[in-house]
A and B are shown apart, each in its own frame.
Chain A
């Protein structure tokens, strides 16, 4: 199983700041089949980034993904109040399609 470890667990920032969330895989992710999701309280997850660096339809360009192999990053520039949420990484290059444990982005 490809274990994904997200860091930091909680990130406290202010609107207008830049958030950098990391996800490290225990094995190389095949084909860079890697995604990021956002989940707000009481809501279902929303796909932000697929294939490590491609924004899903309707996602603002403030969100960007990068990385390959075992190390991936989600960067959110110019934080808006609605960006404060929990973020999950996921690899779908091979079964089981594991998620990271989640990272909470909170308002400082």
Chain B
């Protein structure tokens, strides 16, 4: 069963912008929606982005998602120290299973 590929870590200074990539295949990302989850260590994941680029209510517009082909990207602008967390992308697969990325640790310097 395939998994999605994310960079292990990214970092940037407060106020800056960071992007996190998520690479998949034609059986998942290219033909299914991508969602993004934020996980503070020791807590459950929290939905951040759904349907490639939609934000649930309560998620600030500093968070945005995009997708092209077999890759998706999460962008965070105006970085805050409170954004430090692990970020996971997820997608359904053509076999009705679910795949997640390996997670990206965001450090706000």
A joins B in a complex:
no
Q: CB within 8 Å of B: which residues of A?
A: none
Which residues of B does A touch, CB under 8 Å?
none
